Amino acid sequence: MRALIGVLLVGCGGCFSYVRLDPSAPAPKRSTDVVARLVAPTDFPAGQVTVHGVIEVAGLLAYGDGDSLVIAARHVSAADGDSYAGYGGLITILRPNVATLEAKRASAWKTGIALGTGGAMFIAGMLGVRQLLGSGSGGGGKPPPLP
């Protein structure tokens, strides 16, 4: 049962993908999971430290307007390839510094495949249990004749 739950969680995790948004368009709604890639490496605080040369910030959009985006950072990535935990710290990025902006969205076809696979696994499991236990009721009918 635990294996089935693990497979379903991994499968449903694949139901999401990031969709590229126009950086100059109005900001997505608050609490949207976003990834912002920057035009040039910039220094930002991440928790108690300052990360130098940040090129990507991922997290939940706390606020967005025509001038800037404020992201509650889940992680930040530096130009040297290192990735750091953002600890939910608020990072303000000016709109001209955003090269690309992506938002996490549910993928309809991936969700359909995951649901179809999960349903097939459930039915196969139920048929296997039925076959293991037997399909007859085990009782009823006339008793055998006496000798």
Residue 118 pLDDT: 77
- The alpha carbon of 89 is separated from its chain's Cα centroid by a whole number of angstroms, namely 20
β partners of residue 20: 102
Residue 26 pLDDT: 85
Instruction: Examine residue 78 and state whether it is found in any structural domain, yes or no.
Output: yes
Domain that holds residue 39: 17-106
Measured CA to CA, the distance from residue 89 to residue 110 in angstroms comes to 32
Residue 10 pLDDT: 54
Q: Give the strand pairing for 83-85 and 16-21.
A: unpaired
Residue 113 pLDDT: 75
Residue 4 pLDDT: 55
Instruction: Examine residue 125 and state whether it is found in any structural domain, yes or no.
Output: no
Instruction: Examine residue 30 and state whether it is found in any structural domain, yes or no.
Output: yes
State how many domains the chain has.
1
pLDDT, mean over the chain: 82
Residues 6+ away with beta carbon under 8 Å from 123: none
Instruction: Examine residue 132 and state whether it is found in any structural domain, yes or no.
Output: no
- Residues 33-62: pLDDT tens digits? 999 999 999 998 776 788 899 999 999 999
Q: Output the six-digit token pair for 31.
A: 């609490």
**Per-run averaged pLDDT (10 residues), the chain, 147 residues:** 57 72 84 95 83 95 93 94 90 93 80 74 81 63 77
Residue 57 pLDDT: 96
Measured CA to CA, the distance from residue 47 to residue 58 in angstroms comes to 14
Measured CA to CA, the distance from residue 29 to residue 25 in angstroms comes to 12
Instruction: Examine residue 57 and state whether it is found in any structural domain, yes or no.
Output: yes
